[in-house]
Amino acid sequence: MNLTTINNLIDRIRGRTLTFFSAGNQWRRRIALFLAVIGPGIITSNVDNDAGGIATYTQAGSAYGYSLLWSLIPMTIALYVTMEMCSRMGVITGKGLSDLIREEFGFRSTFFVMITGFLVDLGNVVAEFAGVAAAAQIFGVSKYIAVPLAAVAVWVLVLKGTYRQVEVVFLIACVFYLSYLFSALLSHPDWLLAARMTVIPTIHFDVSYLITLTALVGTTIAPWQFFYLQASFVEKKVGPRQYPQARLDVLLGSISCMVIVFFIIICTAATLHASGLTNITDAGEAAKALVPLAGKWAALTFAFGLLNASLFAATILPLSTAHVICEGMGFEAGIDHKFREAPAFYWLYTILIVVGAGIVMIPNVPLWKIFIFSQVGNGVWLPIVVIFILLLVNRKDLMGEHTNTVMFNVVAWITAVAMIVLTFVLVGQGIYQWARGVPG
Amino acid sequence: MLFATELVGASAYDSQEHFVGRVREFFVEPAEQPNRISHFLISRGRFQPLVARYDQVAKVAAGRIDLNVSERSLDAYKPNEGWLAVQKDLMDQQIIDTEGRKVVRVNDVDLAVMRTNEHVELRITQVDVGLPGAMRRLLQGIAPPALVRKLQGKLPQRSIRWEFVNLIEPDPLRRVKLRITHEKLEDLHPADLAEMMEELSAAERQGIIASLDEETAAKVLAELDERLTTQIVEKLDPEKAADILEEMAPDAAADLLADLPKETSEELLEEMPNLEAEEVRELLSYDSSTAGGMMNTQFAYVSEASPREEVLGWLRKQDFNLEQLDTIVLVDAHAQFSGTVPVARMLLAAPEQLMSDLKTEPLVSITPDANEKDVFELFDKYNLRMLTVIDEERRPIGTVTVDDVVSRLVNA
């Protein structure tokens, strides 16, 4: 079976599903309308649960058990509020976030966004390929085989597919996140306690608890996702009439993302934390520790989830970066273009993957330094991007009647300020760690 | 030559060498002169900004402007919709390069300095869309100007002559004031124009379609991604939309209307002339994945008993699009479908030869409710360029042409 056959198959499945629903009664038609738009929101928010994210959730669950679960609800709101603004801008203006920043804030701001974006995302791409390496190790595959294979697969997918085809593959990857549901089930958590801890906040005022809380928020809301989300709504050509469906897509995305985080935390809480293993710092280590505690299958589903998440994010992060830079510079961008039509876009994509995967392949490379570096970069990048978003979305000349309502602005600014403060704490902690010269 | 970037923030001095303020913006007044910088906006901190006319400027260099009048004779600045602001309306914005047929983003604007007896004028010569402009924007005010000039020489140039620049202004009133026309766009191939429009924002697309003549607009809409087409048509003034639909081939119009909400498509059909509307309505009644949904109801059909010369004479008098004249449909004495004749074969035939002698064998046709897959298979099997669609009484009601098939297969 060659690539064209696979791509045609994907298109056929998509077409059949749409036809099935649009031919039915009112409800089925409504689902068809939604299916035509679904994708960007669900994909973007699920990619938040990437290798770095899973490591953080593992840390949170193993160190503090169920007691950080309450933070998921405010995080869902923050995720939804920020992403909804970008989806709205994409749908109403038909332009990417980088496009708008360039047009409204000039070249220097855009250049800053492009350069930080490139460096931060490169660090993140390295983290994703490190995630692939860690997962492969659990399946007994050497990273020197797994990482190049992953890089090629990811590269070919975007190069040879159209936007619609790639999107279907991404949506399937989203479904694979459910493997964490199985890891959670197999580790027999205390569901009642978990539910109670989710609704009732418990705050401890010790430093490392607060730092873990901060990291949780920091890994979940990242600047690259705003660019990717808005660019995909634009590339998908979703218009104002489909805005309600786009919003639903973002809402479902935010919720599903947090449900997965919930499963990861309770899985590690019920096993690692319960047996006193509170010092687990990465996902690979967690998966290995799961074997004696919850059985081989719990560990394998956990590792599979990590592999899926890493591959998925290793595709989307370079894509997002390529969008940021090409839109800002006025180059052609988008998966629907061919290499020849959008050379800058595909070259950026290629470079990020090659360099990202290459760094992981270097023996004994101090990866944690790269992660701290990208975390700090994120902290510098995020406030600026979020403020740009808030300024742009309130511009009457761009958004017409679709600017934020007063209520929404209040929530959005509170979210923005809280996120900025939390990220700065994280940056400070990262610099402290760097200065001490020890990982973790 | 100067660059707009080098002028932003330039210090302005009056005829007595007094510092007036800094240049923050400069304008072109297209109604007067399409490429001359007509006004300079000079900001003075907390005081009211002033504006210097082009004939009040004595000398211009990077970072400095000297006026030939005193500060007191300058007017206070009042915004003017008819002025094109170089910083705000041009820098960083997307424009259409009508020569290169591409949408590009402006990095900088190149200005030529023209001296007259009393004053100095700046004329826009080209817009910079390449790396030199980007680098200037980045380093201006940070690195010494001499270094910037030296560095830019090493970078590959990419600029567009001012006369090939087509600005995009969504607001129709402002478009008129700024004398922006899209006449040059009408000369481009509709497919190229459609591709460029996909790079633009929703409002800009809307603005372009609204300002094109109906015929061009119809051709562009037929080439545009259907998701964008529906968004555009929905927002158009219904009367204009109906005029555009009228210009489209009935099958393309039907495809477009099928994607619109029922009320909108009904409203547009009401606006269209009855005859065209009837044709489109009939096409709309077919499922889009059938032969009926693919067919075009405008086609040439003649009696099989007519001689070749007579048919040619008749065709000359008709108003068919060239695409519809690839193949001629034949009907017998009962007005039933009896075959097709490729125009190429007519070309080679003797004048008195009867159409029935020029028929393509075997006789292939299809019913409107047949699935599009069956259509594809017939085209493939018989290497068709055109397929006739017939009703229950074997009367020809439309044709599917090879370009319909190709675009279906590509967009499948």
Kindly identify which residue of chain B lies nearest to residue A92, measuring between CA atoms.
B202
DSSP-assigned states of every residue in B149-180: HHHHTTSPP-EEEGGGEE-----HHHHHHTT-
Provide the pLDDT for residue B218. Answer: 87
Residue whose entry in the numeric block shows the structure tokens 């026309």: B181
Tell me which of A167 and A206 has the higher pLDDT: A167
Distance from the A322 Cα atom to the nearest Cα atom in chain B, whole angstroms: 16
Strands B11-13 and B64-67: parallel
Would you say residue B156 has pLDDT above 70?
Answer: yes
Specify the amino acid at residue B200: L
Distance from the A12 Cα atom to the nearest Cα atom in chain B, whole angstroms: 8
- Distance between terminal CA atoms of chain B? 52
Q: Let me know if A185 is exposed, middle or buried by CB neighbors in 10 A (0-12, 13-18, 19+).
A: middle
Would you say residue A412 has pLDDT above 80?
Answer: yes
What φ, ψ does residue A373 adopt, rounded to 5°?
-60, -45
**Max CA separation in chain B (angstroms):** 96
Q: From A248, A89, A247, A324, select the one nearest B202 (Cα to Cα).
A: A89
Q: Let me know if B159 is exposed, middle or buried by CB neighbors in 10 A (0-12, 13-18, 19+).
A: buried
* B265 part of contact set with chain A, CB < 8 Å: no
Provide the pLDDT for residue A350. Answer: 93
Classify each residue of A384-415 as buried b or exposed e, where b means 16 or more C-beta atoms within 10 Å of its C-beta. bbbebbbebbeeeebbeeebbeeebeebbeeb
Kindly identify which residue of chain B lies nearest to residue A10, measuring between CA atoms.
B412
Kindly identify which residue of chain A lies nearest to residue B288, measuring between CA atoms.
A19
Q: How confident is the model at residue A255 (pLDDT cuts 50, 70, 90)?
A: very high
Contacts of A92 in chain B (CB under 8 A): 202
Provide the pLDDT for residue A101. Answer: 92
Question: Cβ of B105 and A106 within 8 Å?
Answer: no
pLDDT single digits (tens) B396-411:
988 888 888 888 887 6
- Predicted-complex ipTM score: 0.74
Instruction: Name which of A15, A103, A239 is nearest B231 (Cβ-Cβ).
Output: A239
Q: How confident is the model at residue A90 (pLDDT cuts 50, 70, 90)?
A: very high
Distance from the B199 Cα atom to the nearest Cα atom in chain A, whole angstroms: 8
Distance from the B203 Cα atom to the nearest Cα atom in chain A, whole angstroms: 7
User: How many A-B residue pairs are in contact by the CB < 8 A criterion?
Assistant: 59
Provide the pLDDT for residue A252. Answer: 93
Strands B365-366 and B396-401: unpaired
Alpha-carbon distance B336 to A154, whole Å?
A: 57
Give the residue-averaged pLDDT of B276-300: 81
Which of B103, B171, B201 has the most A C-beta neighbours within 10 Å, making it the best mutation to test the interface with A?
Answer: B201
Q: How confident is the model at residue A275 (pLDDT cuts 50, 70, 90)?
A: confident
Q: How confident is the model at residue A247 (pLDDT cuts 50, 70, 90)?
A: very high
* B234 part of contact set with chain A, CB < 8 Å: yes
Would you say residue A88 has pLDDT above 90?
Answer: yes
Would you say residue A99 has pLDDT above 70?
Answer: yes
Instruction: Name which of A19, A237, A332 is nearest B228 (Cβ-Cβ).
Output: A237
Cβ pair B212, B251 in contact under 8 A: no
Would you say residue A198 has pLDDT above 60?
Answer: yes
The CA–CA distances, whole Å, from A208 to A214, A245, A268 equal 10, 41, 18
Cβ pair A342, A358 in contact under 8 A: no
The continuous run of DSSP H or E covering B24 comes out as strand B19-28
Q: Is A212 left (phi over 0), alpha (psi -120 to 50) or beta?
A: alpha
Q: How confident is the model at residue A347 (pLDDT cuts 50, 70, 90)?
A: very high
Alpha-carbon distance B207 to B170, whole Å?
A: 5
The CA–CA distances, whole Å, from A133 to A57, A303, A304, A307, A344 equal 19, 11, 12, 8, 29
Give the residue-averaged pLDDT of A369-390: 80
Contacts of A106 in chain B (CB under 8 A): 91-92, 137
Cβ pair A163, A337 in contact under 8 A: no
**Token pair for residue B236?**
């158009």
Provide the pLDDT for residue A439. Answer: 56
pLDDT single digits (tens) A421-433:
877 777 777 777 7
The strand pairing partners of B159, in sequence order, are B128
Alpha-carbon distance A190 to B159, whole Å?
A: 66
Cα angle value B159/B165/B168 (rounded, 5°): 125
Kindly identify which residue of chain B lies nearest to residue A111, measuring between CA atoms.
B138
Would you say residue A440 has pLDDT above 60?
Answer: no
Q: Order of strands, edge to edge, in the sheet holding B396-401?
A: B365-366, B386-390, B396-401
* A93 part of contact set with chain B, CB < 8 Å: yes
pLDDT single digits (tens) A113-122:
888 889 888 8
What φ, ψ does residue A368 adopt, rounded to 5°?
-60, -30
Provide the pLDDT for residue B118. Answer: 79
Which of A10, A13, A107 has the most B C-beta neighbours within 10 Å, making it the best mutation to test the interface with B?
Answer: A107
Cβ pair A81, A411 in contact under 8 A: yes
Contacts of B228 in chain A (CB under 8 A): 237, 239
Provide the pLDDT for residue B63. Answer: 83
What φ, ψ does residue B301 adopt, rounded to 5°?
-135, 140
Which of A158-162, A272-276, B311-315 has the weakest average pLDDT?
A: A272-276
Distance from the A373 Cα atom to the nearest Cα atom in chain B, whole angstroms: 25
Provide the pLDDT for residue B335. Answer: 86
**Token pair for residue A25?**
């009664």
Contacts of B198 in chain A (CB under 8 A): 237
Average pLDDT, whole number, for chain B?
84
Highest mean pLDDT among A85-94, A194-203, B121-130: A85-94
- The answer to whether the pTM exceeds 0.90 is no
Q: From A33, A66, A331, A52, select the one nearest A194 (Cα to Cα).
A: A66
Provide the 10 A C-beta neighbour count for residue B373. 9
Average pLDDT, whole number, for chain A?
83
Q: How confident is the model at residue A97 (pLDDT cuts 50, 70, 90)?
A: very high
Cα angle value A123/A129/A132 (rounded, 5°): 150
The CA–CA distances, whole Å, from B376 to A223, B303, B381 equal 47, 28, 9
Contacts of A93 in chain B (CB under 8 A): 201-203
The CA–CA distances, whole Å, from B289 to A16, A78, B285, B295, B372 equal 12, 44, 12, 11, 5
pLDDT single digits (tens) A175-192:
888 888 888 888 788 888
pLDDT single digits (tens) B194-218:
888 888 888 888 888 888 888 888 8
* A95 part of contact set with chain B, CB < 8 Å: yes
Strands B64-67 and B108-115: unpaired
Give the residue-averaged pLDDT of A192-221: 80
Provide the 10 A C-beta neighbour count for residue A259. 15
Provide the pLDDT for residue A206. Answer: 74
Kindly identify which residue of chain A lies nearest to residue B141, measuring between CA atoms.
A108
Kindly identify which residue of chain B lies nearest to residue A242, measuring between CA atoms.
B231
Question: Cβ of B412 and A15 within 8 Å?
Answer: yes
Give the residue-averaged pLDDT of A313-324: 89
Contacts of A332 in chain B (CB under 8 A): 199
Question: Cβ of B105 and A330 within 8 Å?
Answer: yes
Question: Cβ of B92 and A237 within 8 Å?
Answer: no
Provide the pLDDT for residue A3. Answer: 67
Dihedral sign for Cα atoms in the order B129, B135, B137, B138: positive
* B412 part of contact set with chain A, CB < 8 Å: yes
Distance from the A55 Cα atom to the nearest Cα atom in chain B, whole angstroms: 38
Question: Cβ of A330 and B93 within 8 Å?
Answer: no
Percent above pLDDT 90 for chain A: 11
Question: Cβ of B200 and A94 within 8 Å?
Answer: yes
Question: Cβ of B231 and A103 within 8 Å?
Answer: no
Specify the amino acid at residue A331: F
* B287 part of contact set with chain A, CB < 8 Å: no
Question: Cβ of A329 and B228 within 8 Å?
Answer: no
Classify each residue of B383-398 as buried b or exposed e, where b means 16 or more C-beta atoms within 10 Å of its C-beta. ebbbbbbbeeeeebbb
Q: How confident is the model at residue A411 (pLDDT cuts 50, 70, 90)?
A: confident
Provide the pLDDT for residue A351. Answer: 93
Provide the 10 A C-beta neighbour count for residue B344. 11
DSSP summary character for residue A291 = H
Q: How confident is the model at residue A24 (pLDDT cuts 50, 70, 90)?
A: low
The continuous run of DSSP H or E covering B41 comes out as strand B37-44
**Token pair for residue A273?**
């934390």
Helices marked H in A362-405 — which ranges?
Answer: 367-393, 396-399
Cβ pair B108, B136 in contact under 8 A: yes
Interfacial B residues in 91-110 facing A (CB < 8 Å): 91-94, 103-105, 107
Cα angle value B375/B378/B382 (rounded, 5°): 150
Cis peptide before B238 (omega within 30 of 0): no
Alpha-carbon distance A309 to A246, whole Å?
A: 23
* B270 part of contact set with chain A, CB < 8 Å: no
Distance from the B138 Cα atom to the nearest Cα atom in chain A, whole angstroms: 6
Specify the amino acid at residue A177: Y
Tell me which of A236 and B289 has the higher pLDDT: A236
Q: From B27, B364, B169, select the one nearest A397 (Cα to Cα).
A: B169
Interfacial A residues in 313-342 facing B (CB < 8 Å): 329-330, 332
Contacts of A95 in chain B (CB under 8 A): 201
